Amino acid sequence: MSDILEKQNEVLIALLARSTLGVRYVYETVTKSKRNPKAYIKAYNSLRGTIGVTEAGKLAGVSPPTMSEILKSWEAQGIVYDVGESNRPLYKRILGLPEKLGPAD
């Protein structure tokens, strides 16, 4: 896919996510019951289809098996999607998250 089409798709996905799920839902799904919410936001925001489970786990401060379960849960909740191969999943986020929610989010 061309870079332009890929970027357009990302923009459309983010727009739909904001209008249907909302930033607050995604934020709360990523950070709920986490000891270090900022690390999970950093890991979530890094999901652009280029890093694997191990790299995302390092950013979140958890083991690869734990991150794998988290990513599967996020996928089931519709806040990430897998663009990788069956033997190496690569996840993409649906929208970028702020470090802290504001009243309008």
- The domain spans of the chain are 3-93
Packed helices 53-60 and 64-76: angle between N→C axes, nearest 10 degrees = 100
Distance in angstroms (rounded) separating the CA atoms of residues 66 and 48: 19
| pLDDT tens per residue across span 19-53 | 888 899 999 999 999 999 999 999 999 999 999 99
* Under 8 Å between Cβ of 82 and 56: no
The model's pTM is 0.88
* Under 8 Å between Cβ of 85 and 67: no
CATH architecture of structural domain 3-93 = Orthogonal Bundle (1.10)
| pLDDT tens per residue across span 59-91 | 999 999 999 999 999 999 999 999 999 899 999
For residue 1, the model assigns a pLDDT of 60
